């Protein structure tokens, strides 16, 4: 690695430089400067190694995150593809079916709208027939009740009330007969009473004559 290389003097590559360096090395009292340089280089190497390890950990974490994001993106893409397929199927199958159904329903509604007046007339006619049938049934019930009524009660109802279920002609006839019978009874009663009074008077006259 480049950061582990120790800097060297370019003069050591030439013959004259080697002679001069050997002379200077022999002239140095100790090697403490070289040890310090090596120690500093090793410290830098350790710090670089720690930084590299930290970077490796961060890279591994970022890689796992990127894989998770990639999986999520793939799932999203698959969901979008499925949704797109469903939308396409709906556009190709469901939407035309709904349009046909709506068209049929509209036609049915138009037919019903055109038939509504006739249906209304039929309903009105049925209602009238029902009302007539109900009235007829009530009349029949009243007739049956009238037929089950005793004759004296019928005559009394016809003569003295207006609720008798008979025609006006029958009412007039029966009331006329009743009036005629009543007048005849009154006439007979009058004649009888008059005869009784006359007989009583004659009896008194003959009694007086006999006593005299």
Q: What local confidence, expressed as pLDDT, does residue 207 receive?
A: 57
Name the one residue in this structure whose structure tokens are 């006259």. 205
Contacts with 205 (C-beta within 8 Å, 6 or more apart), sequence order: none
Confidence check: pLDDT of 190 > 60: yes
Tokens of 24: 């200077």
Question: pLDDT digits over 149-180, tens only?
Answer: 888 888 888 888 887 778 888 888 988 999 99
The mean per-residue pLDDT over the stretch 194-208 comes to: 73
Q: What local confidence, expressed as pLDDT, does residue 184 receive?
A: 94
Domain boundaries, the chain: 2-92, 151-212
Which of these, 31, 18, 139, lies nearest to 131 by C-alpha position?
Answer: 139
Instruction: Report, in angstroms and rounded to the nearest whole number, the Rg of the chain calculated over CA atoms.
Output: 70
List Cα–Cα distances, 23 to 9, 17, 136, 157, in angstroms. 14, 10, 152, 168
Q: What local confidence, expressed as pLDDT, does residue 17 receive?
A: 43
DSSP assignment string, 93-134:
IIHHHHHHHHHHHHHHHHHHHHHHHHHHHHHHHHHHHHHHHH
Question: pLDDT digits over 1-42, tens only?
Answer: 343 343 444 444 444 444 344 444 444 445 777 888 888 888
Confidence check: pLDDT of 76 > 70: yes
Contacts with 178 (C-beta within 8 Å, 6 or more apart), sequence order: 155, 159
Confidence check: pLDDT of 104 > 60: yes
Averaged pLDDT of the chain: 79
Which of these, 7, 60, 65, lies nearest to 33 by C-alpha position?
Answer: 7
Percent of the chain with pLDDT over 70: 82
């Amino acid at each position: 690695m480049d950061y582990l290389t120790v800097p060297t003097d370019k003069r050591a590559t030439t013959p004259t430089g080697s002679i001069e360096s050997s002379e200077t090395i022999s002239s140095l009292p100790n090697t403490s400067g070289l040890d310090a340089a090596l120690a500093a280089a090793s410290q830098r190497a350790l710090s670089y190694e720690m930084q590299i390890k930290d970077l490796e950990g961060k890279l591994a974490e970022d890689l796992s995150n990127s894989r998770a994001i990639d999986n999520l993106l793939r799932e999203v893409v698959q969901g979008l593809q499925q949704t797109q397929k469903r939308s396409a199927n709906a556009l190709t199958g469901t939407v035309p079916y709904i349009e046909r159904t709506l068209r049929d329903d509209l036609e049915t509604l138009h037919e019903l709208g055109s038939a509504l007046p006739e249906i209304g007339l039929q309903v009105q006619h049925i209602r009238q027939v029902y009302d007539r049938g109900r009235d007829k049934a009530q009349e029949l019930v009243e007739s049956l009740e009238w037929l089950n009524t005793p004759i004296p009660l019928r005559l009394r109802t016809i003569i003295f009330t207006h609720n008798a279920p008979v025609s006006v002609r029958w009412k007039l006839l029966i009331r006329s007969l009743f009036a005629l019978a009543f007048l005849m009874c009154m006439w007979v009663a009058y004649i009888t009473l008059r005869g009784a009074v006359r007989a009583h008077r004659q009896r008194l006259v003959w009694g007086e004559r006999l006593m005299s």
